[in-house]
Structure 1
Amino acid sequence: MKETTRQKLIDATFEEVYSHGYQGAALTEILKNAGVHKGSMYHFFGSKKEMALAAIEEKVAERNLAKYVRILELENGYLQALADTLSNTKARDFRRGCPIANIVQEMSNLDEDFDRAMKAIYKKFRDYLKRILDKAFEAKEMKECDTDKMALFITSTVEGAILSAKASGDVKDYEDTVDMLISVLWQYKI
């Protein structure tokens, strides 16, 4: 599939914002890395902010949330698939951390649009986790529990584990935290 100009802008914007934060993201670098001129950007987006929000929303959905949708499409084995997904360190960039958390920490107090977008992304992540846990309960893979609270616990633990690994520079911090998280989850396994 041929990459469109819009997609090149989305990809370059996401990488620039993920690496340098929104405020540190240079429009000239985004355009250079996308291989397009400023006029092309304005054909698709009204501003750097609009482009950054679109990039974050689209790339997070593509990169991070799709793996949880895949679990929901299974017919069984929901808890094991969730544990495997959470344990997969190859799917994460511990040097840069979590793109969602990075933007929340940088922009949520400064800009309503970023705040609203990041809250929606976090809500979607928690909703996917809750739905996975609900399916696991329905499939008799786990005991009944408050799946909303468990989804919050998983989300908070994973985000904390990513931050710990980023801060220490040691992926083992993430692995150890997720091992403990899974041991808690297994207490509900049937």
Structure 2
Amino acid sequence: MEKRTRNNLIDSAFKEIYEKGYQGASMTTILNNAKVHKGSMYHFFANKKELALVSIKEKIYAKFVQRYTSILQNESNYLETFIESLKDITQRDFNKGCPIANVIQEMSNLDSDFKVLMEKIYLSFRKNIKDILDKAVEKKEMKQCDTTKLALYIASTLEGAILSAKATGNIQDYLDVVEILSTYILSFRL
């Protein structure tokens, strides 16, 4: 029961923050959607900020870890599988944008705890991409290159593509960028 209550709070908080931003998130809405009273929240979290930080960490980390570590469990075709995951538009919400970018843009210059957490999450996202590239190099599917810089380029390009699709309301913007990015990534194949 306690674990379910905590999970409901985290899910509700993340959804509210993703839709309205941290500053626009309503504790009343979070509590109502979680179907708990304020006292229950204080049993698990000291305040809205702590709830927000925990929900962001748990939900975003889980999302990216699941998406990219599954690729590393393959025996081959790392680049192709990675590109297929990028093309899978069902994995993204182009109306709301990237949850990492949204929180970074809203909070990183306002609160050091958010800045530290989001930097850690973003660097983890880049490391996940680097790990895929490193595995492709190791398995001789890709030529040797600076995978750290390439992962930075890929992450930055993806963030820009998601932002473009969000700004224009046109998912094709994202797909067009991914098409060009895919061609570039595959140019490293052996």
TM-score, length of structure 1 as denominator length: 0.97
C-alpha distance in structure 2 between counterparts of 1:106 and 1:141, whole Å: 39
Q: Secondary structure at the match of 2:93?
A: coil
Q: Which amino acid aligns with 1:115?
A: K
1:74: how far off?
1.4
- 2:177 paired with 1:173: no
C-alpha distance in structure 2 between counterparts of 1:77 and 1:45, whole Å: 43
Q: Secondary structure at the match of 2:145?
A: coil
Q: Matches of residues 152-163 of structure 1 in structure 2 within 5 Å? A: 152-163=152-163
Q: Secondary structure at the match of 1:36?
A: coil
Per-residue Cα deviation, 1:142-178 (whole angstroms, up to 9, x for no partner) = 1111000000001000000000000000000000001
C-alpha distance in structure 1 between counterparts of 2:92 and 2:118, whole Å: 19
Q: Give the share of equivalent positions with the same residue, in percent.
A: 53
- 2:43 paired with 1:32: no
Unaligned runs of 5+ in 1: none
Q: Matches of residues 51-66 of structure 1 in structure 2 within 5 Å? A: 51-66=51-66
C-alpha distance in structure 1 between counterparts of 2:116 and 2:86, whole Å: 26
Per-residue Cα deviation, 1:52-92 (whole angstroms, up to 9, x for no partner) = 01101110122233110111111111111100111110110
1:3: how far off?
6.8
**How many residue pairs are counted as aligned between the two chains?**
189
Q: Matches of residues 1-190 of structure 1 in structure 2 within 5 Å? A: 4-190=4-190
Unaligned runs of 5+ in 2: none
C-alpha distance in structure 2 between counterparts of 1:50 and 1:98, whole Å: 21
C-alpha distance in structure 1 between counterparts of 2:120 and 2:159, whole Å: 16
C-alpha distance in structure 2 between counterparts of 1:117 and 1:75, whole Å: 32
Q: Secondary structure at the match of 1:158?
A: helix
1:110: how far off?
0.3
Moved more, 61-70 or 149-158: 61-70
1:97: how far off?
0.2
Runs of 4+ in structure 1 over 3 Å off: none
